[in-house]
Amino acid sequence: MAILITGGAGYIGTHTAVELLNSGYDIIIADNFSNSTVTAIQRVEQITDTKIQFYEADIRRYTDLTAIFQNNTIEAVIHFAGLKSVNESITHPVEYYDNNISGTINLCKVMQEFSVKKFIFSSSAVVYGDPETVPITEDFPVSTSNPYGQSKLMTEQILHDIFISDNEWQIALLRYFNPVGAHKSGLIGESPNGVPNNLMPYISQVAVGKLEKLHVFGGDYDTRDGTCIRDFIHVVDLAKGHVKALDYFDTQKKGEVLTLNLGTGTGYTVLELIHTFQKVSGKNIDYDIVERRPGDIVVSYAAANLAEKILAWKTEHNLEDMCRDTWNWQSKNPSGYDT
Ligand code: NAD
Ligand code: UD1
């Protein structure tokens, strides 16, 4: 019995693969390597001293998926595969809906055919749009203004509808806040293509000398230092949340749809992150405060107590750990997996 990890060669997928193997689960990875490389899987093998079975497969291709389900006994699916840039989704909506919606529907079709009814889905805090208050609890209204966010909301709805049609399904909709950090070995981490859109990879590329200067988008927000606030969560803590969700389903007799935030419950400002990174890395991060980035949420952080209560899961890494582990990965792999 194996856990199929779609998108398992990606940033969160590789870290989850490590934690699943450490917890005694068998895994199979399916990835089309559109945003990752085989090297990432080899690094997971190195960390865990385990040979990993993987398929170069596109979730949009029915025959790719049926081949995996025919040749293996799949117990559950953790579904990371998809595209993840808000900006790119606005310029390439069809590609986003194709990968994130058509791909997921195809996956669900094959799961139904093979009676695999355990599904863990990578949702995002993007579904909360601009929240009226913080911390954000799971019952906050959802809304979104871009195709990426729509694809997460639609997938959540599709999975709810599948459960209504067959209540044996065990479905976890895990809404991630801002994943950062890397495995402490420095062998796996975030390796974005081109210039990063997100804050932490941008900071670490400035620190390693790949980028000259960080632009801080907006310094006049109504926050303690004028910059936006986010709930940064260490990717290893996030990965462990997936293991806990699987463990939890194993103890349950009934199907359900579980909607949970995965965050720390604490928000830090952009400047606080920069200063912490400088402190732990010993590197100066040159930055300018520039215009606000259109569409940015001012303050976003999770109420993390529901996941804690249901999954018996709690984050263990603080902001310094997140910065230290990011720096360890970036300094050992200045060009990511291309190094
Ligand atoms: P990632 O790009 O590193 O990993 C996604 C993986 O999926 C990549 O290896 C890519 O090659 C693969 N993939 C993409 N389309 C595919 C397809 N059609 N068939 C097979 N494989 C395909 O991204 P990540 O940061 O690891 O994110 C994983 C998931 O978590 C995504 O669904 C993303 O939307 C979600 N998420 C990420 C964040 C974040 O900040 N990283 C936040 C919230 C939610
Ligand atoms: C973005 C996505 C969100 C996704 C998340 C994690 C948008 C609107 N939202 O959120 O859907 O789930 O990434 O992948 O894009 N910042 C800078 N300079 C930079 C980069 C970022 O100042 O070069 C600031 C931003 O203005 C923001 C904060 O850092 O205030 C965090 O930005 P980012 O890492 O992009 O994450 P989110 O905005 O939370």
Give, for ligand 1, the residue of 14, 34, 242 to mutate: max count of ligand atoms closer than 8 Å to Cβ.
34
Question: Is residue 199 situated within a structural domain?
Answer: no
Q: Ligand 1 pocket, 11 CB below 6 A?
A: yes
Q: Give the distance (Å) from ligand 1 centre to CA of residue 88.
A: 14
Q: Is 148 a catalytic residue?
A: yes
Q: How confident is the model at residue 9 (pLDDT cuts 50, 70, 90)?
A: very high
**Which residues contact residue 65 at a Cβ distance below 8 angstroms, ignoring those fewer than 6 apart?**
30, 57, 59, 106, 107, 110
Q: What is the pLDDT of residues 32-46, one digit of tens each?
A: 999 999 999 999 999
Average pLDDT of the segment spanning 23-30: 98
**Which residues contact residue 75 at a Cβ distance below 8 angstroms, ignoring those fewer than 6 apart?**
1, 2, 3, 116, 118
Determine what percent of the chain is predicted with pLDDT higher than 90.
Answer: 99
- pLDDT reading at 25 higher than 80: yes
Q: What is the pLDDT of residues 91-125, one digit of tens each?
A: 999 999 999 999 999 999 999 999 999 999 999 99
The secondary structure element, H or E, covering residue 164 is helix 147-165
Question: Is residue 196 situated within a structural domain?
Answer: no
Q: Give the distance (Å) from ligand 1 centre to CA of residue 4.
A: 15
Q: How many domains does the chain have?
A: 1
Q: Are 302 and 231 in contact (CB under 8 A)?
A: yes
pTM of the predicted structure, to 2 decimals: 0.98
Ligand nearest to the CA of 83: 1
Average pLDDT of the segment spanning 282-307: 97
Q: What pLDDT score does 125 carry?
A: 98
The secondary structure element, H or E, covering residue 3 is strand 2-6
Atom of ligand 1 nearest to the CA of 178: 40
Q: What pLDDT score does 339 carry?
A: 61
Question: Is residue 17 situated within a structural domain?
Answer: yes
Q: Are 33 and 56 in contact (CB under 8 A)?
A: yes
Give, for ligand 2, the residue of 199, 206, 220, 301 to mutate: max count of ligand atoms closer than 8 Å to Cβ.
199
Question: Is residue 174 situated within a structural domain?
Answer: yes
Q: What pLDDT score does 224 carry?
A: 98
Question: Is residue 171 situated within a structural domain?
Answer: yes
Question: Is residue 35 situated within a structural domain?
Answer: yes
E strand spans, 32-99:
53-56, 74-79
Active-site entry in 11, 25, 148, 221: 148
Q: Ligand 2 pocket, 213 CB below 6 A?
A: no
Cis amide linkage into residue 196, ω under 30° from 0 = no
Beta strand 74-79 with 53-56: parallel, antiparallel or unpaired? unpaired
Question: Is residue 178 situated within a structural domain?
Answer: yes
Q: In this structure, what CATH number is given to the domain that contains residue 9?
A: 3.40.50.720
Range of the domain at 32: 2-183+232-263
Atom of ligand 2 nearest to the CA of 86: 15
Mean pLDDT of the chain: 98
Question: Is residue 59 situated within a structural domain?
Answer: yes
Q: What pLDDT score does 338 carry?
A: 83
Average pLDDT of the segment spanning 59-81: 98
Q: What is the pLDDT of residues 253-275, one digit of tens each?
A: 999 999 999 999 999 999 999 99
Determine what percent of the chain is predicted with pLDDT higher than 70.
Answer: 100
Q: What is the pLDDT of residues 135-157, one digit of tens each?
A: 999 999 999 999 999 999 999 99
Atom of ligand 2 nearest to the CA of 229: 30
